[in-house]
Amino acid sequence: MRWTPEAWPEGLRASMPLGLPIAAVGVSFGLLAGPVLGAIPSIVMSAVVWSGTAQFAALTILASGGGTALAAGAGLLANTRFLPMGFAIAPSVRGGLVRRLLKGAVLADASFVIGHRGGGQFDISAIAWAAPVQYVTWVGGTIAGVAGATAIGDPGRWGLDVLFPIFYLSLLLPELFPVHIQAAGRRARRQADRRNLRPIIVALLAAAITLALTPVTPPGVPVVVAAAAALIGLRAPREPVTQRSAGDGA
């Protein structure tokens, strides 16, 4: 079979458009982290942690004069968002313990969205294939940011500071307003999407929590606490009650 973009695994195809914005955010991290952590530690952090939210949270603490333990704690709290995500994909993961751990290890925010199939179902293969592009562009962006810090200067000068929230907004909108519906069961999927308002409820609740905590808590804490809104998804949606046809017996 000819190796064309159309023949690529779905997760790889879906992640390709994300390469540029992820690299740009990685450049922003490298620019900011290089003077604080040093070139090599900044690159190693991206290669090992591979989480923009956690890395920016830790960097904020260190840049403001906080200790390493506090910075590590902030990064760990930021990554607690993967707990509800792990609960969500668990029923779709197959194989033994090691295989399940490896599949969970490549889970990222964009991968979670790419692999979502609705109704609590996830395509684990799509999640796994979405990881390479995200990892390479994130680490590569960090290297470019560290290397080009002198030439690029302030990230805000190039608009790189707004890419992080825009990136996550681009992941959220398809979940709130699903447009990708497979041919099989299209009508049932549309009806299920209309019945299930929980994604919108979770988004609004998380926004309310963030707005309420932002004035009174340190940076990063509101987003971490707002992630608890996703726990609403642990409860299975209520199945619709179907009426029995006239020909059914009592």
Higher pLDDT, 241 or 142: 142
Mean pLDDT of the chain: 77
Mean pLDDT in residue range 9-31: 87
Distance CA 207, CA 210 (A): 5
Higher pLDDT, residue 244 or 90: 90
| pLDDT above 90 coverage of the chain, percent | 18
pLDDT digits (tens, 9 = 90+) for 186-238: 444 555 545 567 777 887 888 898 889 888 877 657 766 777 787 776 665 55
DSSP 11-78: HHHHHGGGHHHHHHHHHHHHHHHHHHH-HHHHHHHHHHH--HHHHHHHHHHHHTT--HHHHHHHHHHH
* Cβ 30 vs Cβ 155: under 8 Å: no
Can you give the pLDDT at residue 159? 63
Q: Is pTM beyond 0.85 here?
A: no
Kindly tell me if the per-residue pLDDT of 60 is higher than 90.
no
Least confident stretch, 53-67, 87-101, 136-150: 53-67
Question: What ranges in the chain are assigned the alpha helix state H?
Answer: 10-15, 19-37, 39-49, 52-63, 68-78, 82-89, 97-105, 109-115, 124-147, 149-152, 163-176, 186-195, 198-213, 221-226
Amino acid code (one letter) for 186: R
